[in-house]
A and B are shown apart, each in its own frame.
Chain A
Amino acid sequence: MSAKTPKILSGHLVSYPRFLWESIVLATEGSPLFYGWMTLLTALSLVGVHAWATQVANGMITTHMTDQVSWGLYIANFTFIVGLAAGAVMMVIPAYIYHDHDMHDVVIIGELLAIAAIVMCLLFVTVDLGRPDRFWHLIPGIGRFHWPMSMLTWDVIVLNGYLLLNLHICGYLLYTRFLGRQPNPRWYVPFVFLSIGWAISIHTVTAFLYQGLGGRPFWNTAILAPRFIVSAFVTGPAFIILTLQLLRRLTDLPIGARPMQTLSSIMRITILLNLFMVASEIFTEFYTGGAHVSSAIYLYFGLHGHHGLVPWIWTAIGFNVTAAVLLHLPVSRRKSWVLNLACVLCFIGLWIEKGMGLIVPGFIPSTLHELVEYSPSLIEWKVMAGIWACGGLVYTVALKIAIPVLTGRVGYRDYATDEPGLTSAAPSEEAPRMAQK
């Protein structure tokens, strides 16, 4: 055993850099469409970078946030995208708990989405900081990490943990595929199960950030965390269905009909559950009445002549209800455009409902009942576009690497022939398995 380990290790010392190099090649080569897409995303990211640099230099006065509405578009996006990251687990659960083999073949698409989404979340939190130069104060051991009292420290732990878990799972699976080996369940299955629980935790903690604040009655409701989870299980599957539709047209990845059916079946339930929870929230607010309902009145109907969010929230409700109806029409099972339309509608609908429709009214009226409205500045929109484009870059590159590796088009075939000095132990061990495949 002890004699064998160094040899395997030395094998990895060659094959792992090779894997990384192949990944870089895969990530930078492609069709004109690919180059065009990447150039567009890069350009948008740069617009965002410039807007953020301007914001840091000139101060957050360049945003339209105020002392009354002290969180805006950034935290709204953050909240929504944590849901997107958590929602990706809706591929993992069928694949690993219900042993859905078709889903298992494409589950990595969900796990890679989680990675891209978490990167976006971390960026959205960073751009919301007044002093990004002091981010190190948040690093446990170096800074002063106010754990367990501050929910934000929990968020730092769960988001980074989820990122690491998914990086490990995806990295390990792709690397073993690259080597042409069967992955060893010991090295990833426990992490997959951990990641399922962890996915729930990231969105629960994000909800706890808000629902634990007694001074903000609009957020101070126990239904917030369940609502976040349920709506995440709408947006996650919706985005993955749209991704699968695109990958079907653009790549040679074999995607069965089952994963799409499973995901849309999940959405048919979660979208109704979400509407039910929203309705329950609305009932509690308006039937009870009193001062606590001011934010909800402002959001849905406008308050004392201020109506900033009314068009937003009714658009969201319109989109979500339409998507729910579309998903329950039999035609959504036959015509993919109906399904796609439903996915787009509920994705946008929930972006509004969980973002601008949840974060902003928490601040309006303020805790001293001042009515100050908020609508994002151009800088904020640019930064947001930049971060979405950056997420798009991460996801595109991840898929661009993963798909050829998964389909076996790229692999470590020339292990034995190209590297005469390293053929001794590891390759001979793995060669028969490759032949089986």
Chain B
Amino acid sequence: MSELENGISRRTALKGVGATLGAAAFARALAPLTEWTADLSVDQFLQKHYRELTPEAMQQVLGRLEAETKRDYGVDVEIEDIKPTPGVAFAYALNLSICIGCRKCAEACHKENNHDRPSQNSYIRVLEMEQGSLDMERGDTMYDHPVPAPGKFYMPVQCQQCDNPPCVHVCPVEATWKEPDGIVVVDYNWCIGCRYCEAACPYHARRFNWQKPEIPAEEINPIQAYLSNRIRPQGVVEKCHFCLHRTRQGRLPACLEACPTGARVFGNVLDPASEIRWVLEHKRVFVLKEELGTRPRFFYFFDE
């Protein structure tokens, strides 16, 4: 009997040792997480969805985000929550006859929107297309030669701010939605990073933060908004927001201001006197992948 008991206790002791070793190994394996969670505050973890934040709660969040930016990037920034203006609905048009493919728009976006520097991220991709074809299959985004090249035309593509946006439909947590002025936005503090929207978008308009954005302090644009160009957290999706921190305050998007040829037209379609309205009424405009039924707010046209 005592032998049996000894046997059992020995076995139990061995099991105990095994379990302890296992638990220790598990804790050791998870060690990289402790470093990461040290940067993660309880407030950040518990933060509510954008549309559930009261104005006071939003002020607290903005203050916290500014402090986080100061801590992580060493820069004083001002982050605002800028709401859409009633009676304003934005649209964009691009004249393919005069775009020369210089990528100044992509570069301006890169700087304006505090994009990650190493990946040279931008919300705009410029396709070099063969004249006589609108088939993107024959387009090239990686061209590396003087522009405009003979026999080519250039087609910048960014978020089309669809009125029937597949990316918004597929999001499992409502982290992305369409604002009353037509802009599709992302709550970077609500997105779980599943990237379903990236799979759903037919225009490759969305980007994922594969790592924490790296930007030198002196290059950070300090004028920021919650739903637009504030520095995004690691592991969330982002996209073009028509520079809402500028456009909702009466300015033009950075990509438009940077365009040397005046190929870009932006404005409030509800304003009959606006230039965008004139273009939509007088030019034979078209949208990309119209057959998908996404109803873009981004139009293209040729002059001649």
Contacts and interface: CB of A to CB of B under 8 A. Distances in A.
Interface in A24-80: 28-29, 42, 46-47, 49-50, 53-54, 56-61, 63, 65-68, 70-71
A144 B173 CA distance: 5
B103 to A, nearest CB: 15
Given A130-B192, A215-B202, A368 B139 contact: yes
B32 A53 contact: yes
A152 B200 CA distance: 12
A294 interface: yes
Nearest to B173: A137
Interface in B14-37: 15, 22, 25-26, 28-33, 35-37
Contacts of B125: 368
Interface in B181-233: 190-196, 198-204, 206-212, 233
A143 B173 contact: yes
B193 A130 contact: yes
Contacts of A149: 169-170
Interface in A197-246: 209-210, 213-216
B172 A146 contact: yes
Nearest to A66: B210
A129 B199 CA distance: 14
Contacts of B195: 70-71, 128, 130
B204 A214 contact: no
A367 B201 contact: yes
Nearest to B193: A130
B163 interface: no
Contacts of A144: 49, 173-175, 190
A138 B209 contact: no
Contact of A368 (B30, B157, B194): B157
B174 A60 contact: no
A210 B199 CA distance: 9
Contacts of B28: 50
A65 B142 CA distance: 19
B273 interface: no
B84 interface: no
Given A134-B192, A144-B49, A368-B136, A59 B172 contact: no
B141 interface: yes
Contacts of B234: 59, 130
Contact of B208 (A58, A60, A145, A363): A60
B194 A152 contact: yes
Contacts of A362: 199
A213 B174 contact: no
Contact of B202 (A128, A214, A294): A214
A130 B236 contact: yes
Given A214-B166, A367-B204, A135 B192 contact: yes
B37 to A, nearest CB: 8
A363 B208 CA distance: 15
Given A50-B29, A130-B195, A144-B49, A67 B169 contact: no
A436 interface: no
Contacts of A97: none
A250 interface: no
A370 interface: yes
A121 to B, nearest CB: 14
A151 B201 CA distance: 15
Contacts of B139: 368-369
A61 B210 contact: yes
Interface in B152-179: 157, 166, 169-175
B303 interface: no
A370 B141 contact: yes
A419 interface: no
Interface residues on B, range: 35 or more
A42 B237 CA distance: 34
B180 interface: no
Contacts of A133: 37, 40, 45
Contacts of A58: 32, 211
A369 to B, nearest CB: 4
A176 interface: no
A217 B188 CA distance: 29
Contacts of B202: 214-215, 367
Interface in A337-386: 362-363, 365-370
B212 to A, nearest CB: 6
A59 B136 contact: no
A59 B210 contact: yes
A38 B175 CA distance: 41
Q: Which of B33, B37, B172 has the most CB of A within 10 A?
A: B172
Contact of A68 (B174, B204, B211, B292): B204
Given A42-B22, A152-B170, A291-B137, A215 B200 contact: yes
Contacts of B294: 214
B127 interface: yes
Contacts of A59: 209-212, 234-235
A53 B173 contact: no
A70 B173 contact: no
B204 A366 contact: yes
B56 interface: no
Contacts of B49: 137, 144
B38 to A, nearest CB: 10
Contacts of B25: 46
B289 interface: yes
A22 B44 CA distance: 43
Q: Which of B173, B196, B202, B204 has the most CB of A within 10 A?
A: B173
A56 B33 contact: yes
B135 interface: yes
A122 interface: no
A247 B254 CA distance: 67
Nearest to B203: A367
Contacts of B206: 67
Nearest to A54: B32
Interface in A266-302: 291, 294
16 contacts: A56-B235, A57-B32, A59-B235, A130-B208, A130-B236, A131-B235, A134-B192, A138-B172, A143-B173, A146-B174, A153-B172, A210-B199, A214-B293, A215-B289, A294-B137, A369-B139
A-B CB proximity, top 4 nearest? A130-B193, A215-B202, A130-B235, A59-B211
Given A28-B15, A57-B36, A149-B169, 19 more contacts: A46-B25, A46-B29, A50-B31, A53-B29, A56-B235, A57-B32, A66-B210, A131-B191, A134-B173, A135-B192, A137-B192, A145-B173, A146-B171, A150-B171, A152-B172, A156-B172, A291-B135, A363-B199, A368-B139
